[in-house]
Structure formats: C-alpha cells, structure tokens
Amino acid sequence: MQVYETTFIVNPQLDDSAIDQKVNAVSDLIKNHGGKIVHTDHMGTRRLAYEIKGLNQGYYGSFIYEAQREFPATLERYFKLEETYLRNLTVCYEGDLEKLKESKSEDAFGASERNADKKDSPKSEPAAPRPEPAVAAPAAVEESSPGNDDSKDDDKEKTDEIILDHQETAAEDKATENPEEEEL
C-alpha cells in the first residue's frame, strides 16, 4: 500500500451539513476501497487566492491515508463527477507517519486533558476585574483636539504662506519667460 495526501476544496455556499456530508463522502470512499485514514484535517472556510467558478472562498479538507496504487484515479474521477468540489490535489505523502501519528495522539490527549480541567474547575468563579485604562489629562486633549481655534489659525496661516509662495514663484517664472510683458 502507498501513502497519499489528498486536499480538496468544497463550495462554501452549501449549508454546514452538506459540507460535512461531502467531506464524509471522501472519507467513506477511501475506506470502502480498502484504504486506511491516518490523519484528517478540516481547515474550514478560507479565502481563495483567485476566483474559482465565481467564488472567492472555499471549504478546505485534507486526508492522509494508505491505499492501493489504483485508488487515486478512482478518487480523481469522483471529484470530477461531483460539481461541489472546486479543486483537488492528490500526492504521494513523503512525511514521517510516526511523527504524524504521535502528534495526533498528543492532540487527542491534550484535548481530553483540557476537558478534564474544565470539569474539575468550578464554573461560578467570577472573572478577575480588569484594570481601568489610563485617561489623559483634559488639558492635553484640548491642545490636540481638532476643534481648537488656535490650531485652526496656525493651519490657516501656514496655508496662506504656501499659497503666497506659490504665487510669487509663478510670477517669477512668468517674468523670466516673457521679459517684454514685465516692462509694459
């Protein structure tokens, strides 16, 4: 038997039960053809890099499994016949299966350990109060506020200076281009 990894994208416009049914259909197909699923990854709905069939998102699923060498062709045919699968890719898996199995068992142990912690902890404990955020002094707020008249006057003066400088530069440029007009 050969180890394969198949990743596929399902149309996200289906309801959740239909998406789960499509993911389970792939799992059942693998098992019905003598395959053994080593690892399952439901990545969920993600944004696509480019539009596929007018869609910007897709539901990603992935299986690592052991199967006969002829099986990927059967799976490919299934994906082509079902329109709800937007894309799929099957490759020979070259990773370390032992590490994958260990990480899977650690994940399961960690999840059961977290659930046990939740059961042991009392649910009626109040949450710790959060510290109040620091508030700036009102004087500092007034100085930087956009409604301050002094800042408006300063901005207007700067704008007037820029406009005058621009007008003077334009007049000088015009005078250097046509010296005869200046004499008139």
| Domain limits, the chain | 2-95
- Is the predicted pLDDT of residue 98 greater than 50, yes or no? yes
Distance of CA 98 to the CA centre of its chain: 30
- Is the predicted pLDDT of residue 33 greater than 50, yes or no? yes
Q: Tell me the residue type at 146.
A: P
Would you state the structure tokens that stand for residue 26, as one six-digit string? 């792939």
Length of the chain: 184
- Is the predicted pLDDT of residue 132 greater than 90, yes or no? no
Give the pLDDT confidence score for residue 163 in this predicted structure: 73
Minimum mean pLDDT range among 40-49, 97-106, 169-178: 169-178
Give the pLDDT confidence score for residue 162 in this predicted structure: 73
- Is the predicted pLDDT of residue 109 greater than 60, yes or no? no
Angstrom distances, CA of residue 49 to CA of 46, 55, 57, 162: 9, 10, 9, 46
Dihedral, 157, 158, 163, 165 alpha carbons, nearest 10: 110
Average pLDDT, the chain: 76
Cα separation, 158 vs 147, whole angstroms: 17
pLDDT band for position 152 (50/70/90)?
low
User: Whole-model pTM above 0.95?
Assistant: no
For the domain bounded by 2-95, which CATH number is listed?
A: 3.30.70.60
Sequence-separated (6 or more) residues with CB below 8 Å from residue 128: none
Look at residues 49, 43, 46, 38 and name the one whose alpha carbon lies nearest to residue 1: 38
